[in-house]
Amino acid sequence: MSYRGHFTVSQDNQVIFTYAAGGWDVMTARDYCASFKKAAASVYHNPWAHILLLDDWILATPEVEPVILDLAHWSLAHNLVCTAKVYRENMLKQYQLDKMNPVSSVTYRQQEFTEQQTALDWLASEGFKVDCDQFELGRV
């Protein structure tokens, strides 16, 4: 596993997939935001969902937090309605994620999962079904 931060962003139907790994600095975060917005441009005219695969993510420098929080607010302003975060229990990871993500509301729902399939099932129950065979949901 690389400790340098990296990511992949892909899209199917109205769902954006993010795989994040390594330790993120502000340059990685800015590159991610650009890739994410490019992918979201094809879905944000209607409600959409986001699934993040975070088991291999090793946290971020403090400077990353406002960059990702800005992206979260941008996403909400552009019709994001559901987020599923997938990672093994990790209190430090959860703490940093909480600092970078808005809280759930009437128009925005989020859940944390330890298994990818459970997260995909939840997204499907929220109206966001995807074809799992189309994605490399595992490791990059």
Asked if residue 127 is part of any domain, the answer here is yes
CA distance 117 to 99: 26
Asked if residue 121 is part of any domain, the answer here is yes
DSSP state at residue 4: B
At 2-61, the pLDDT tens digits run 557 999 999 999 999 999 999 999 999 999 999 999 999 999 999 999 999 999 999 999
At 52-65, the pLDDT tens digits run 999 999 999 999 99
* Residues spanned by the domain of 52: 6-134
Q: By percentage, how much of the chain surpasses pLDDT 90?
A: 85
Asked if residue 140 is part of any domain, the answer here is no
Q: Which residues pair with 8 in a beta bridge?
A: 19
CA neighbor of 54 nearest in space, from 81, 99, 26, 88: 88
Asked if residue 36 is part of any domain, the answer here is yes
Asked if residue 139 is part of any domain, the answer here is no
Asked if residue 125 is part of any domain, the answer here is yes
State pTM to two decimals: 0.90
Asked if residue 54 is part of any domain, the answer here is yes
CA dihedral defined by 41, 23, 62, 108, rounded to 10 degrees? 40
Return the SS3 of 24: strand
Asked if residue 93 is part of any domain, the answer here is yes
Number of structural domains (the chain) is 1
Q: Residue 133 pLDDT > 80, yes or no?
A: no
The CATH number given to whatever domain includes residue 96 is: 3.30.750.24
The answer to whether 135 and 12 are in contact (CB under 8 A) is: yes
